Structure 1
């Protein structure tokens, strides 16, 4: 604690020093050019815009708030601002003093006065140091085929190289051999713990409110931590600061609407978006489904206020919920709530600071309404965070990021209350668990020469499992059936039960072979202190999380990756090939035949071991022109070895897929019509199946093979969609479009799950003496046509 507190004080002190005395190599000849880059139509800040400086052939990139800074020698320069989906522009600038230069980019061919339009395409993928980072093009996602007409960035992410899914109709994704809980998913810097709607058929992200989505599979900056495998950073729109706009859509599954506009023109704006499914309304019309209801809703909101060019405030919030009711007497509901309050402050043209307060809450409930067996079970996880981040731009060749992050966590695994006059249930509450998670970090980006650039830094994390809690001591703790409680210790509120500290070094390098190709390398050490308590790959809401503790060590992973990046045809095409190798320690699994349902002594069910993942990833992508899209292929393997599990033998992870191939394209046929298509193929994932059964007295039990000893059939599917935009007129406020699509064009019956039963004939009659078993596959979707109407004015 003292170390962390000292760092915070020093960090704030350094910030003040940098603010008062910005370092310059030669104050007489060095000046700083800085500003914000915006969308010309809405005044939205644009993140990750490429700023290229001639003739010195160096540059910068705007940060997640659209701010850039360049310190250059006095003189004349030609600056090119380029961003995917926007018209690149070039501007001549004479730098003879510190200059604030804000610029606006047009999303179409309209030009700004006093600028030179550049036909130079962005080659950021080659020039940037970061590797294993992919952006998700939101506008292209909206034109791609979607399940029941609902565009979903998670479904697009599942088609990227190095990413796999658990199966059809799920929102879980697995990155480079990591489990689903090893992905850090942020919306406006707030973590989301369950991204699924309708058990994973759709995600919580409403595409209409999203500004950007970036997936890091490796090369993760020191600013981020807490997960082993990946970072998905989702940013929502700030709201149009110049005019009021409304938009909405009606699809086969859901309806949604959004409203955005200025509160004070060019100073403050807002955006709000809502989405609701109406499956429950349709189900009411079916007599056989009386009393059954399935629905979800989302609500996003954001307000931002620019006090002046040095101070900006943002407040963003999200809430979403699923409710499933069966036969009027059983209900499941779950949802997320997040709030982020952010303050951007410019100490000067070189020092940028961001202060963030975050609240996140994930909860779920099961309710049975019955006189004898009525109950309501509730569980949740909450966290409260403070983040203080600084970025210092001393020169175009050196950037420094540093800061502090602290999170207080509360885990409530279960609270049961009776729900019925004569119910057999009694009030029962599992112990809540608490933790304090802190980190300090420092990372630098340095251009050594025109060809070589590096990123390096370290994150130091400190995790404390806190009271109040009773910790039990066990004899035979590794035996989840015959353990004996030998002692217990009661810890008071705020008292440290266990603490863990870990350095997390990061390094990345880029060597540019020529103007269109580069080699890259990265190394990451990641540590994860919280663990998902689940034994299923199917996304169900009643999975709980647990902090690292005396019986649960933090998970750790080391990953190295190398890649070759090449731009083709004047940067029209991007090609990359990456190889990675990752080793993980303290990977959490459960003992064979584990009991995880409302278990006060779940510590006896944990088993921790090692995992090894490695693979090759290939991506060919076209981002400009009438034809856009990508082709990806991944060859990978993930093995796990857990003491006492599977007889101490290595077994494949249940999300291990050896081959994965994806093709995703959109083509603009005319100003009004475009078509899109997806094709996906993946090897079958491993499963554990019973191979027989045995009897012990009057008890019969299944006899299982080795863990994940079988594989489901291979997965493949094709989808197509056509988008029609009538009356395409740039001067018209009212705009609408239609999307007509077919999901699973050739009616592939892809397995969703599998179960075993006594072998039967086609009429349901038992075959033989009833001892022979057979496996049955469960399929979700056949051919599904859909239509979506969207509007904007």
Structure 2
């Protein structure tokens, strides 16, 4: 079966390669004239300056001389006059021509709005629109055009270079400032990924190129290519940044804190990438604006501008379909909307079958496939944004996002001659809303006032036929926040940001069991407020951001001060040193329910710090490194140390004797991240390596220090992206990393008696290691236009091409046939999995 699918891949890519070869390439006009001279024994006379940078498609070799000249006049702005049978003069035919272009920042690739375009020695000119585009209908063919923008170096271009018949090209302006640019690397690994001056990485979804195995710019899957970012069980709901658990990542969507991040139990990001304009990932040196997330901050933002035209798109893959729209209602009012839904509850696809098998291994659903049982699973998400510009200095924005997963499992069986139907279900939903008011009171002073509410719910019920037991679990998080931020630009080099935050969070947990009868309900609320301040200095070769955040927890009468620092120094044109450090805290964590609960799916419930058995989690982190960037070669070497205390056994995912104990501990991780990335016009290749030692310390355990369940000592990643043409791209990559720790039962004493039941007798925690994890992924992408305004993209992706069986988790249960033995249960990563997507944008 694998061979057939692999054959399909190569046939698919080969067919695109054949089609790509049909794309017409353009040649310098001077070179075309030389070929015509040789063929027809003629001589062209012209000014070299006039023909500079003029490219055309070559005429057909079968054309006569007169037909060739007619063709040249039809595709250029020149007149070709035959003086006799041998000499042909080339001069301007069209006195005036239309010109156009798109003006963008050479570093960020962002469009420059209201740039000035002036036809030299005339009063004719225009400005660029909100997309950086401009058009001038009548310009002298031999004129020059000056393009300028405040803070950027002006450039002068010949009008013929912007002749609209040759398509509107992008024009790049470079910043005039001698300060360090905000963006250090504009195309990092692939187009759409960039490296900022503060060390953060930004994914621009609209400019996303291609990465191995991906068929769309999935935000959370994409950030896993970064050094120091892993997922021990390959899911996007379990992203581990520098050894941290997934609940230690702060997830923000347009300022809303999100408690649910994935679809299909962690295999797909829950955020529609086609309306999410960019996502910024910060591992250390975080701005004092942000709290929570002691391991990282992932800040997702949608487009914040009112567009002047309707735009949007739609697409589908082998799991779901989606659509998005950006629409101007008036010049001051606009709306953005997106929606996505799976069709997995209507029919199966090869991708769905692979994902289903991956999610339900060795559990009640998998084991009862042959019985009278049915599974109904679907997911959806949607978002809506209203943009209102009160005037040029004041704007209002309102956002709404909803994410939902629904799993229903129905089993039928016969009891005393009658048919009994039992239902189990698992529902997860996150609803969030935000309103913000941005005001520019003067060129140097601005404010932002915002408020959000986030409502997360997981509601589940499970019927166990073997024990005739029915149990339910309910988890709800309701968080609201009010925030005021002020920005003061004292000068060109100093910026001061201050802010105040008031936050309320409530968490409810309820559990019921029918046999034996049991019910437990807990509801906790925590009030906290914070003041923060940071100063940014940027001049010449130095960037510095220093600040502090003061957090006060009203219920605990507790104050926590958190200093933050982010420094970057340019030593030479190509070499930078960087230092980052931070103190952070968070008051929420996840409690993990294991495979023996709720349909065999690992389920995570949010809990709230109580300053006792569940303390506030605190972190201290420092990193120091160097970056080299020259001639499209980037080298990054960073050493880091992180200490996190206040963790509990319940949220670390143990599979051993300590998993039911109440204990508070910490973990320490130290390591080195290395990345080398080389780019040319046609390809981008990279190799990354992370070395890390990650150890727990729980003083009540013996031994008290042992490897973290998330410890990945060595991790390699490499890939190559190749652009066969501008429209046809391929990507191939591999991942090789150390296996994660796990715990075996004691040899020759695998089970013990615990009261009236038998349990597994585990050995020293995390003493064993899984085999190395290895996977090869590939992707292909082809862009084409269905019409002038309708752009389309086909992408195909293949995960785990070699179909390697990678073990990502191991635990043990008492063997039903022999209670003296423990039975090993292994969970495997995705097998060979194909996927394909088709998109249309307008």
TM-score interval w.r.t. the shorter chain?
0.7 to 0.9
SS at match of 1:308: coil
Confirm or deny that 1:514 pairs with 2:581. Answer: no
Q: Which residue of 1 aligns with 2:427?
A: 333
Query: Aligned match of 1:310 in 393, 396, 399?
Result: 393
Q: CA deviation at 1:459?
A: 0.4
Confirm or deny that 1:280 pairs with 2:280. Answer: no
Q: Tell whether the 8 Å contact from 1:239 to 1:271 is kept in structure 2 after alignment.
A: no
Query: Aligned match of 2:543 in 445, 448, 453?
Result: 453
Q: Tell whether the 8 Å contact from 1:567 to 1:574 is kept in structure 2 after alignment.
A: yes
Residues 103, 607 of structure 1: alpha-carbon distance in 2 compared, 3 angstrom cutoff: farther
Q: Which residue of 2 aligns with 1:3?
A: none
SS at match of 1:557: strand
* Alpha-carbon separation, structure 2, partners of 1:413 and 1:367: 14
Query: Aligned match of 2:776 in 715, 718, 727?
Result: 718
Query: Aligned match of 2:741 in 686, 690, 696?
Result: 686
Query: Aligned match of 2:623 in 561, 570, 592?
Result: 561
* Alpha-carbon separation, structure 2, partners of 1:283 and 1:92: 55
Q: CA deviation at 1:415?
A: 5.7
Spell out the pairing of 1:543-622 with structure 2 (5 A cutoff): 543-569=605-631, 572-590=632-650, 605-621=661-677
Q: CA deviation at 1:427?
A: 8.8
Spell out the pairing of 1:777-792 with structure 2 (5 A cutoff): 777-792=826-841
Q: Which residue of 2 aligns with 1:775?
A: 824
Residues 734, 126 of structure 1: alpha-carbon distance in 2 compared, 3 angstrom cutoff: closer
Q: Which of these two proteins has the greater Rg computed from alpha carbons? A: 2
Write out per-residue CA displacement over residues 584-610 of structure 1, whole angstroms, 9 at most, x where no aligned residue.
Answer: 2223224999999xxxxx999532223
Q: Tell whether the 8 Å contact from 1:84 to 1:623 is kept in structure 2 after alignment.
A: no
Query: Aligned match of 2:203 in 116, 136, 139?
Result: 136
Query: Aligned match of 1:737 in 793, 811, 829?
Result: 793
Spell out the pairing of 1:80-479 with structure 2 (5 A cutoff): 81-86=105-110, 114-115=147-148, 116=155, 117-118=171-172, 124-126=182-184, 130-139=197-206, 141=208, 143-146=210-213, 149=215, 151-238=217-304, 241-265=307-331, 267-282=332-347, 291-327=374-410, 329-368=423-462, 373-374=469-470, 376-414=472-510, 416=512, 428=519, 430-447=521-538, 450-465=540-555
Q: If the length of structure 1 is used for normalisation, what is the TM-score?
A: 0.75
* Higher relative contact order (Cα pairs below 8 Å, separated by 6+ residues): 1
Q: CA deviation at 1:747?
A: 1.1
* Alpha-carbon separation, structure 1, partners of 2:286 and 2:676: 22
Q: Tell whether the 8 Å contact from 1:271 to 1:302 is kept in structure 2 after alignment.
A: yes
Q: CA deviation at 1:382?
A: 0.5
Q: CA deviation at 1:172?
A: 1.2
* Alpha-carbon separation, structure 1, partners of 2:649 and 2:288: 28
* Alpha-carbon separation, structure 1, partners of 2:723 and 2:266: 31
Q: CA deviation at 1:241?
A: 1.7
Q: Which residue of 2 aligns with 1:36?
A: none
Q: Tell whether the 8 Å contact from 2:637 to 2:675 is kept in structure 1 after alignment.
A: yes
SS at match of 1:514: coil
Q: Tell whether the 8 Å contact from 1:460 to 1:502 is kept in structure 2 after alignment.
A: yes
Write out per-residue CA displacement over residues 478-521 of structure 1, whole angstroms, 9 at most, x where no aligned residue.
Answer: xxxxxxxxxxxxxxxxxxxx232111011222221022221111
Q: CA deviation at 1:81?
A: 4.1
* Alpha-carbon separation, structure 2, partners of 1:626 and 1:109: 29
Residues 146, 593 of structure 1: alpha-carbon distance in 2 compared, 3 angstrom cutoff: closer
Further displaced range: 124-133 or 577-586:
124-133
CA RMSD of aligned residues (A): 3.7
Residues 603, 679 of structure 1: alpha-carbon distance in 2 compared, 3 angstrom cutoff: closer
* Alpha-carbon separation, structure 1, partners of 2:204 and 2:324: 20
* Alpha-carbon separation, structure 2, partners of 1:158 and 1:640: 23
Write out per-residue CA displacement over residues 610-646 of structure 1, whole angstroms, 9 at most, x where no aligned residue.
Answer: 321111112234678443464322111111101213x
* Alpha-carbon separation, structure 1, partners of 2:667 and 2:610: 18
SS at match of 2:345: helix
SS at match of 2:265: helix
Structure 1 portions without partners, runs of 5+: 1-78, 94-100, 466-497, 597-601, 761-765
| Aligned length in residues | 651
Q: CA deviation at 1:425?
A: 8.0
Q: If the length of structure 2 is used for normalisation, what is the TM-score?
A: 0.70
Write out per-residue CA displacement over residues 664-696 of structure 1, whole angstroms, 9 at most, x where no aligned residue.
Answer: 443321133111233222211112222342444
SS at match of 2:347: helix
Q: Tell whether the 8 Å contact from 1:748 to 1:782 is kept in structure 2 after alignment.
A: yes
Spell out the pairing of 1:6-45 with structure 2 (5 A cutoff): none
Q: Tell whether the 8 Å contact from 1:126 to 1:518 is kept in structure 2 after alignment.
A: no
Residues 502, 677 of structure 1: alpha-carbon distance in 2 compared, 3 angstrom cutoff: same
Write out per-residue CA displacement over residues 144-192 of structure 1, whole angstroms, 9 at most, x where no aligned residue.
Answer: 3446x45422111122111111223443111122221111110001111
Q: CA deviation at 1:701?
A: 2.8
* Alpha-carbon separation, structure 2, partners of 1:518 and 1:649: 40
Q: Which residue of 2 aligns with 1:59?
A: none
Structure 2 portions without partners, runs of 5+: 1-102, 118-125, 137-144, 149-154, 156-170, 186-194, 354-368, 412-422
Write out per-residue CA displacement over residues 408-445 of structure 1, whole angstroms, 9 at most, x where no aligned residue.
Answer: 111101164x9xxxx65879451210100211001001
Residues 347, 198 of structure 1: alpha-carbon distance in 2 compared, 3 angstrom cutoff: same
Q: Tell whether the 8 Å contact from 2:776 to 2:801 is kept in structure 1 after alignment.
A: yes
Residues 577, 219 of structure 1: alpha-carbon distance in 2 compared, 3 angstrom cutoff: same
Q: CA deviation at 1:282?
A: 1.5
SS at match of 1:171: helix
* Alpha-carbon separation, structure 1, partners of 2:292 and 2:127: 35
Residues 592, 374 of structure 1: alpha-carbon distance in 2 compared, 3 angstrom cutoff: closer
* Alpha-carbon separation, structure 2, partners of 1:139 and 1:158: 19
Q: Tell whether the 8 Å contact from 1:588 to 1:607 is kept in structure 2 after alignment.
A: yes
* Alpha-carbon separation, structure 1, partners of 2:437 and 2:452: 12
Query: Aligned match of 1:526 in 561, 566, 584?
Result: 584
Q: CA deviation at 1:740?
A: 2.1
* Alpha-carbon separation, structure 2, partners of 1:595 and 1:166: 14
Residues 108, 152 of structure 1: alpha-carbon distance in 2 compared, 3 angstrom cutoff: farther
Q: CA deviation at 1:400?
A: 0.4
* Alpha-carbon separation, structure 1, partners of 2:680 and 2:654: 52
Q: CA deviation at 1:397?
A: 0.9
Residues 125, 85 of structure 1: alpha-carbon distance in 2 compared, 3 angstrom cutoff: closer
Q: Which residue of 1 aligns with 2:729?
A: 674
Write out per-residue CA displacement over residues 534-571 of structure 1, whole angstroms, 9 at most, x where no aligned residue.
Answer: 376998444222223233332221111111122111xx
Residues 357, 242 of structure 1: alpha-carbon distance in 2 compared, 3 angstrom cutoff: same
SS at match of 1:736: strand
Q: CA deviation at 1:775?
A: 3.2
Residues 251, 586 of structure 1: alpha-carbon distance in 2 compared, 3 angstrom cutoff: same
SS at match of 1:181: helix
Write out per-residue CA displacement over residues 91-112 of structure 1, whole angstroms, 9 at most, x where no aligned residue.
Answer: 799xxxxxxx997686799999
Q: Tell whether the 8 Å contact from 1:388 to 1:403 is kept in structure 2 after alignment.
A: yes
* Alpha-carbon separation, structure 2, partners of 1:331 and 1:349: 55
Confirm or deny that 1:753 pairs with 2:814. Answer: no
